[in-house]
Amino acid sequence: MKVLLIGSGGREHVLAWKIAQSSECEKLYVAPGNAGIAKLGECLSIKAEDIEELLKFVKENKIDLTVVGPELPLVNGLVNQFESEGLLVFGPTKEAAQLEGSKIFSKELMLESKVPTASSQVFSNVNDAKRYIIEQEPPIVIKADGLAAGKGVVIAHSCEEGIEAVNRMIAKRVFGDAGSRVLIEECLTGAELSVLVLTDGETVIPLASSQDHKRAFDQDEGPNTGGMGAYSPCSLVDDAKLEEIVRLTAQPIIQTLKKKGIIYRGVLYVGIMMTQKGPYVLEYNVRFGDPEAQAVLPRLKTDLLSILLQIAKGKLETKTLEWDSRACITVVIASQGYPGSYTTGFPILGLEEVASMGGVIPFHAGTKLNEEGKTVTAGGRVLSISALGATLRDAYEMAYCAVKRISFKNAFYRTDIGRQALATNFSIKNSRHS
């Protein structure tokens, strides 16, 4: 079959890598793709948000299945438009995608579904929000309601920080309409866990567990990022515990949406904080996590394309997934300054050497080919280096051996992805809300 994959990051590279492995994949197109993805399929000069051009391409080229990587096209209704034309597409509709598109919608649905989550209040008036903040015991969490490119969450460690955050969001509108309303939450503490499930709106199948590392620097210091690395499986849960978490946090949401006439088809990402009271939901995302996908999908032995097609058709017939017993660690190499401002256009050295290492896969994110045909940096998160090993320690050593062979100007990375799990057989503890 002919497949169109939408997106350009590390998540899309690992999806392209898995889809291209399928015997059912005749031709893979990616819009817009990146320098690494270009080796797996034909990259198109169409932006992921340009729904009309994407629709035109799919119809003219008789694409059999479209797979949506990033959240914005989903929130903007790409699936609705494609389905109205009778086209097969993997991903939730605009209505279901509000789980990520609106934190307030998501919180209300959690409460209705009796999903454990942090207590919160909603504000659209800056003065009301300030008065509420002054009455709280910091730290507290302030979230812009809408999509804000991963920058709409502030963990305020003082009332002053909290007041400044609501001023920026509500009064100054630094995130536009996304910050017209804010959610102010209690700050949960514990160990984080990423749970992804595949669903057709009825059947729910969990993917292998993983744990993301959000802070920019070692020992969970520095600003929150889109993710600086991940490992799978997560040492925090066994299969039984993972099934319990899915039952408590994913299935109720999918069932409540169904009662409202919204059938959720696609992948659902559940961000979990393992508190002393048990698992609490931090967030829902309506697509594969990044970099979690780069740590989880290399372990998946089942044909991914077949599953994506089943879900797009509305019936998930596959009931169990086969997994590689090896562990996987993914280390993100980023541009200095990320998640703030950074410069790009620097040649990347060592990619061919790393690609030849057994058990190591370099996934591209912020890369492109320059006029000379050389791979150069083109984003904040540049590469995700994934390594499979018989044990987590083996994967750790292989991943960092590979990372050290990659070089470009102003590169930086964390040196402790998965290290605490190795040292304590437990997971990283933090207080991160997304």
pLDDT digits (tens, 9 = 90+) for 295-335: 999 999 999 999 999 999 999 999 999 999 999 999 999 99
pLDDT band (50, 70, 90) for residue 424: low
Burial grade of 328 (CB within 10 A; 0-12, 13-18, 19 or more): buried
* Fold (topology level) of 125-180: Dna Ligase; domain 1 (3.30.1490)
pLDDT in tens, 15-61: 999 999 999 999 999 999 999 999 999 999 999 999 999 999 999 99
pLDDT at residue 194 in the model: 94
Rounded average pLDDT over 427-432: 41
Quick check: 431 pLDDT over 90? no
pTM of the model: 0.95
Helix (H) or strand (E) holding 280: strand 278-285
pLDDT band (50, 70, 90) for residue 433: very low
The torsion defined by the Cα of 113, 296, 4 and 312, in degrees rounded to 10, comes to -40
Supply the mean pLDDT for the chain: 95
pLDDT at residue 235 in the model: 87
pLDDT at residue 149 in the model: 75
Distance CA 96, CA 261 (A): 10
pLDDT at residue 426 in the model: 43
Distance CA 149, CA 146 (A): 9
Distance CA 72, CA 331 (A): 25
Distance CA 370, CA 359 (A): 28
Rounded average pLDDT over 146-158: 87
Distance CA 214, CA 103 (A): 19
- Which alpha helices (DSSP H) does 238-319 contain, by range? 239-249, 251-259, 292-296, 304-313
Rounded average pLDDT over 107-128: 97
Written as one string, the DSSP assignment of 111-172 is HHTT--B--EEEESSHHHHHHHHHTS-S-EEEEESS--TT--EEEESSHHHHHHHHIIIIIS
Quick check: 174 pLDDT over 60? yes
pLDDT in tens, 189-248: 998 999 999 999 999 999 999 999 999 999 999 988 989 999 999 988 999 999 999 999
Rounded average pLDDT over 85-103: 98
Rounded average pLDDT over 246-251: 96
Closest alpha carbon to 294 in 191, 411, 424, 384 = 384
C-alpha of 215 from chain center? 15
Distance CA 358, CA 392 (A): 16
Residue ranges per structural domain of the chain = 2-94, 125-180
Closest alpha carbon to 315 in 269, 270, 268, 263 = 263
The architecture that CATH gives domain 2-94 is: 3-Layer(aba) Sandwich (3.40)
Percent of the chain past pLDDT 90, that is, above it, reads: 91
Residue 411 in tokens: 């590169």
Conformational region of residue 271, where left means phi above 0, alpha means psi within -120 to 50, and beta covers everything else:
beta
Q: Are 293 and 11 contacting, i.e. CB atoms less than 8 angstroms apart?
A: yes
- Alpha-carbon separation of residue 4 from 62, 75, 380 (angstroms): 10, 18, 25
pLDDT band (50, 70, 90) for residue 423: confident
3-state secondary structure of 381: strand
Domains 2-94 and 125-180 share a fold: no
3-state secondary structure of 420: helix
Rounded average pLDDT over 162-189: 95
Cβ–Cβ contacts within 10 Å for residue 350, how many? 16
Burial of 388-411, coded b for 16+ CB within 10 Å and e otherwise, reads bbeebebbbebbbebbebbebeeb
Rounded average pLDDT over 167-171: 95
pLDDT in tens, 57-80: 999 999 999 999 999 999 999 999
